[in-house]
C-alpha cells in the first residue's frame, strides 16, 4: 500500500481507517466530520495525563480551558494552544489529551482556545479569536499567575498556522512571545508542494481534504500572498520567537512546514526542527495506538520545556 517505510502501527491505523468506509472529507458535511473526529480521538489517544486543576472560562470573550499541572506560588511558564482540524473540526475537548500531555510533560500552564469554526464562522474568525486570547494572556499574565517573559503559542495543523500568525502579530505589537510550537503546521494555501503529490491520498489527510478545508474557511480568497492566511507569505521573519517545528514524513503538509522552518533559520530565528519518519499527519492524536507517537509527544514536550525555561 505504501511507497515508504511506515511505522507498522501507522499501517494498522490506515487499514482501520480504510475499513471504516467513511466518505472522504470533501463529500461530508461539517456535522458529520465533527462527529467522526470526536469518535476517532476517543478511539486512538489513550489515557490522559492528570492535572492539578482544569478550568473552563472565557478570556477576551473567547472560551478557553486552562490546565495547571502543579500548584505553585511562583509565576509559571505558559503555552496558548490552538487546536487543529482544518478550521472546521476540533475543539478544546478533542485536544484535551494533547494539551494535558504538554502541560504535564513540559511543566507549564496551557491555555487551550476554543476558537470559532468554519464554515459557520469564516476567515478571519479563528484568527481573531486566537489573537484575542493570546493578547489577553500577555496583558493579564500576572493575574493568571504566569511569567509574561515565558509565554509561548503553539498548535497543530491549522492551529500551527494560527500560532505562527499570532507569533508575528505579537512581535509587531511590541509584546513578543517566547516560543512558537508548530506541530505539522499549515503554512501556505497553495497546496502544491512535492509532498502534496507524493502523499495526496492513502495517508490520512489528503490533498482534496485540504483544498476543501481551505474553501470552508476562506472561500473566494487566494490567500497564498496573505500572511494572515499563509505564514510563508510573510516577507520579514526577523525578530519572531524561537521556534520548534515538527513534521511527519508521510504528510501533505511536510514540505511547506519544513520550508517555513528553513526561512525562520535564514531570518536568524533560533529554530529547532524534527521530522518524524514513518508517521503521518495528526500522529499526536494516535498516542494510544502508536507507541512512537507517544514517545514523540514526550520528546516534543521536553523541547518545549527547555524553550520555555528561557525568557523571551
**Distance separating alpha carbons of residues 212 and 206, to the nearest angstrom:** 10
List residues with catalytic annotation. 157, 251, 281
Phi, psi of 309 (to 5 degrees): -70, -15
Model confidence at 3, pLDDT cuts 50, 70, 90, reads: low
Could you tell me which of 203, 310, 183 has the C-alpha nearest to residue 257?
Answer: 183
C-alpha dihedral, 47 to 53 to 56 to 60, nearest 10° = -120
- Give the domains, in start order, of the chain with CATH numbers: 8-308 (3.40.50.1820)
- The reply to whether omega before 124 is within 30° of 0 (cis) is yes
**Distance separating alpha carbons of residues 173 and 171, to the nearest angstrom:** 5
Model confidence at 224, pLDDT cuts 50, 70, 90, reads: confident
What tens digit of pLDDT does each residue of 115-168 get? Answer: 999 999 999 999 999 999 999 999 999 999 999 999 999 999 999 999 999 999
**Distance separating alpha carbons of residues 70 and 67, to the nearest angstrom:** 9
The grid coordinates listed for 36 are 467522526
pLDDT value of position 203: 98
Could you tell me which of 122, 131, 123, 125 has the C-alpha nearest to residue 153?
Answer: 131
What tens digit of pLDDT does each residue of 77-130 get? Answer: 999 999 999 999 999 999 999 999 999 999 999 999 999 999 999 999 999 999
Could you tell me which of 217, 157, 212, 211 has the C-alpha nearest to residue 187?
Answer: 157
Render 34-87 in DSSP notation, one character per residue.
HHHHHHHHHHHS-SPPP-SEEEEEEETTEEEEEEESS--SSPEEEEEEE--STT
Residue 112 · residue 84 · CB < 8 Å = no
**Distance separating alpha carbons of residues 97 and 45, to the nearest angstrom:** 7
Residue 187 · residue 247 · CB < 8 Å = no
Contacts of 36 (CB under 8 A, 6+ apart): 22, 28
What tens digit of pLDDT does each residue of 175-206 get? Answer: 999 999 999 999 999 999 999 999 999 999 99
Percent of all residues in the chain with a pLDDT value above 90, rounded to a whole number: 96
pLDDT beyond 70 at 2: no
- Please identify which residue in the block is written with the cell numbers 504535564: 104
Length of the chain: 312
Provide the whole-model pTM. Answer: 0.97
**Distance separating alpha carbons of residues 74 and 147, to the nearest angstrom:** 9
Amino acid at each position: 500500500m505504501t511507497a515508504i517505510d511506515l511505522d507498522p502501527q501507522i499501517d494498522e491505523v490506515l487499514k482501520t481507517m480504510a475499513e471504516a468506509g467513511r466518505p472522504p472529507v470533501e463529500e461530508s458535511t461539517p456535522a458529520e466530520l465533527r462527529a467522526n473526529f470526536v469518535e476517532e480521538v476517543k478511539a486512538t489517544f489513550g489515557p490522559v495525563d492528570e492535572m492539578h486543576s482544569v478550568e473552563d472560562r472565557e478570556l477576551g470573550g473567547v472560551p478557553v480551558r486552562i490546565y495547571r499541572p502543579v500548584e505553585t506560588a511562583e509565576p509559571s511558564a505558559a503555552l496558548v494552544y490552538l487546536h487543529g482540524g482544518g478550521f472546521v473540526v476540533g475543539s478544546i475537548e478533542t485536544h484535551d489529551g494533547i494539551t494535558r500531555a504538554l502541560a504535564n510533560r513540559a511543566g507549564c500552564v496551557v491555555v487551550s482556545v476554543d476558537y470559532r469554526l468554519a464554515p459557520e464562522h469564516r476567515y478571519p474568525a479563528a484568527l481573531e479569536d486566537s489573537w484575542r486570547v493570546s493578547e489577553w494572556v500577555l496583558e493579564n499574565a500576572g493575574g493568571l499567575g504566569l511569567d509574561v517573559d515565558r509565554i509561548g503559542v503553539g498548535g497543530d495543523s491549522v492551529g500551527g498556522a494560527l500560532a505562527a500568525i499570532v507569533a508575528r502579530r505579537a512581535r509587531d505589537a511590541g509584546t513578543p512571545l517566547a516560543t512558537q510550537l508548530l506541530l505539522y503546521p499549515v503554512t501556505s494555501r497553495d497546496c502544491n508542494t512535492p509532498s502534496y503529490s507524493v502523499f495526496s491520498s492513502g495517508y490520512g489527510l489528503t490533498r482534496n481534504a485540504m483544498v476543501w478545508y481551505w474553501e470552508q474557511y476562506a472561500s473566494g480568497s487566494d490567500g497564498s500572498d496573505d500572511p494572515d492566511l499563509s505564514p510563508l507569505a510573510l516577507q520579514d521573519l526577523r525578530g519572531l520567537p524561537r521556534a520548534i517545528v515538527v513534521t511527519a514524513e508521510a504528510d501533505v503538509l511536510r514540505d511547506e512546514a519544513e520550508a517555513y522552518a528553513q526561512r525562520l533559520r535564514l531570518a536568524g530565528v533560533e529554530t529547532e526542527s524534527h521530522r518524524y519518519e514513518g508517521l503521518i499527519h495528526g500522529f499526536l492524536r494516535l498516542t494510544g495506538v502508536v507507541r512512537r507517537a507517544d514517545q514523540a509527544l514526550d520528546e516534543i514536550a521536553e523541547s518545549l520545556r527547555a524553550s520555555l525555561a528561557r525568557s523571551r
